[in-house]
């Protein structure tokens, strides 16, 4: 979370978007991309939004806060290594303003964000984020998971008949919030548990 007077520009490492985002979320640090990809694939996280400013007395401050809704609570993402330099007074003022908005800090460190196999798995899945999925293949995937429930990825893939890459389709559907992949237990592979997202 950055803090500075309104009108100053944030340096950015790009923008992030997913179906959970209300729009593009600016990123000012490389760790943000990994953290946001993981959040977008986390079934407990319902939405990701960007809060650029908070009106305060006597002025408005750019806070550059990423707001995450998880388990019915709202948090602002606070990655320790991505914190910009700011004074103690600024830090306290913004923290209080965010608390006043009902936002609690969700503190993550670089080691949290880079933890394996989750980090590599999320990166791999997001390589397919913008891939289109044929309606027929989509129906096969959803039908198999609806009829038989959660299953290993290898079993799901063996059931699919298409001229298109079924792996790309499953990964794209995960990015679109349709299916869920277990990203924590093991590297992505045939035994990765796949299920419909609730």
Backbone phi and psi for residue 35, each to the nearest 5 degrees, phi listed first: -60, -40
pLDDT of residue 92: 87
**Owner of token pair 């298109």:** 164
pLDDT band at 57 (very low <50, low <70, confident <90, very high): low
Q: What are phi and psi of 8, to 5 degrees?
A: -75, 145
Question: What's the rounded Cα separation, in Å, for the pair 41 and 16?
Answer: 13
Q: Are strands 25-27 and 45-55 parallel, antiparallel or unpaired?
A: unpaired
Tell me: pLDDT of 66 over 90.
yes
- Sheet arrangement for strand 151-152: 151-152, 193-196, 179-181
Kindly state the average pLDDT of the residues 169-178.
98
Task: Tell me what pLDDT residue 85 has.
Answer: 79
What is the pLDDT averaged over residues 19-46?
A: 96
Q: Of 56-65, 83-92, 95-104, give the lowest mean pLDDT range.
A: 56-65
The CATH number of 118-196, from 2.60.40, 1.10.287, 1.10.10, 1.10.760, is 1.10.10
| Contacts of residue 151, Cβ cutoff 8 Å, sequence gap at least 6 | 144, 145, 193, 194, 195
CATH class, domain 4-113, is: alpha beta
Q: What is the pLDDT of residue 58?
A: 60
pLDDT score of 2: 40
pLDDT 10s digits, 106-164: 999 999 999 999 999 999 999 999 999 999 999 999 999 999 999 999 999 999 999 99
End-to-end CA distance of the chain: 31
All structural domains of the chain with their residue ranges: 4-113, 118-196
Contact in structure between 41 and 181 (CB atoms under 8 Å): yes
**Buried b vs exposed e over 149-158: b needs ≥16 C-beta within 10 Å?**
eebebeebbe
Domains 4-113 and 118-196 share a fold: no
Average pLDDT over residues 159-185: 97
pLDDT at site 198: 84
């Amino acid at each position: 979370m950055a803090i500075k007077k309104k009108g100053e520009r944030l340096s950015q490492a790009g923008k992030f978007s997913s179906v959970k985002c209300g729009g593009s979320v600016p990123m000012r640090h490389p760790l943000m991309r990994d953290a946001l990809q993981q959040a977008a694939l986390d079934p407990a996280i319902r939405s990701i939004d960007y809060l650029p400013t908070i009106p305060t007395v006597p002025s408005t401050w750019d806070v550059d806060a990423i707001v995450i809704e998880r388990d019915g609570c709202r948090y602002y993402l606070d990655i320790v290594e991505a914190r910009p330099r700011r004074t103690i007074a600024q830090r306290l003022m913004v923290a209080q303003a965010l608390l006043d908005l009902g936002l609690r800090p969700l503190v993550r460190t670089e080691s949290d964000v880079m933890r394996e196999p989750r980090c590599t798995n999320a990166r791999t899945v997001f390589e397919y984020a913008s891939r289109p999925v044929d309606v027929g293949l989509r129906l096969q995937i959803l039908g198999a998971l609806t009829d038989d429930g959660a299953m290993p990825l290898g079993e799901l893939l063996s059931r699919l008949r298409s001229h298109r890459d079924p792996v790309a389709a499953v990964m794209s559907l995960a990015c679109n919030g349709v299916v869920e992949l277990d990203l924590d237990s093991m590297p992505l592979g045939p035994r990765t548990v796949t299920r419909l997202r609730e």
